[in-house]
Amino acid sequence: MEDCIFCKIIKGEIPSYTIYEDELVKVFLDVNPNTNGHMLIIPKEHYKDLFELPEEIINHSVKLVKEKLYPLVKEKLDCDGLTFSQNNGYGQEVKHYHIHVIPRYENDHSMITFDKDMLIPTEEVFSKLSDK
């Protein structure tokens, strides 16, 4: 993808603070971090979002976080937990699939807020989703 900034990072055309890479993924520090150690895991191939992504990448990333990245940030940054998240479509700024790996610290007050005025009753949601 010509204009994709994450493809450019993969190709080395844009610099990044790379923490880890292998044949499938690259992990680097987010340029606008939410907490100390906020990283992104991106596949080396361009996939737009979760719906295009081969499951192998997810499994690989989960294993990577469990075995390498969380132990690393726990030891070096003394974090108290970790948020593992990713956006698709609305809320996704960069259209090259990426997982946010965000070390959490007691009292970091990090949270996603939603407009609860948009909520419809749970019974209505359930009836739409369950065909009942």
Active-site amino acid positions: 98
- How far apart are alpha carbons 15 and 1 in whole angstroms? 17
Q: Quick check: 58 binds ligand AMP (CB under 6 A)?
A: no
Select the span of 48-56, 75-83, 96-104, 111-119 touching Zn ion (CB under 5 A): 96-104
Q: Quick check: 96 binds Zn ion (CB under 5 A)?
A: yes
Taking CB under 6 A as the rule, which mask of x and - marks residues 14-53 in contact with ligand AMP? x-x-------------xxx-------x-------------
Q: Which does 5 bind (CB under 5 to 8 A by kind): ligand AMP, Zn ion, none?
A: ligand AMP
**Of 57, 35, 46, 59, whose CA–CA distance to 4 is shortest?**
46
Q: Measure CA of the first residue to CA of the last residue in the chain; give whole Å.
A: 43
Q: Which residues contact 62 (CB under 8 A, 6 or more apart)?
A: 84
Q: Which does 21 bind (CB under 5 to 8 A by kind): Zn ion, ligand AMP, none?
A: none
Q: Phi and psi at residue 29, in whole multiples of 5°?
A: -75, 140
Q: Which does 7 bind (CB under 5 to 8 A by kind): Zn ion, ligand AMP, none?
A: Zn ion
DSSP, res 87: -
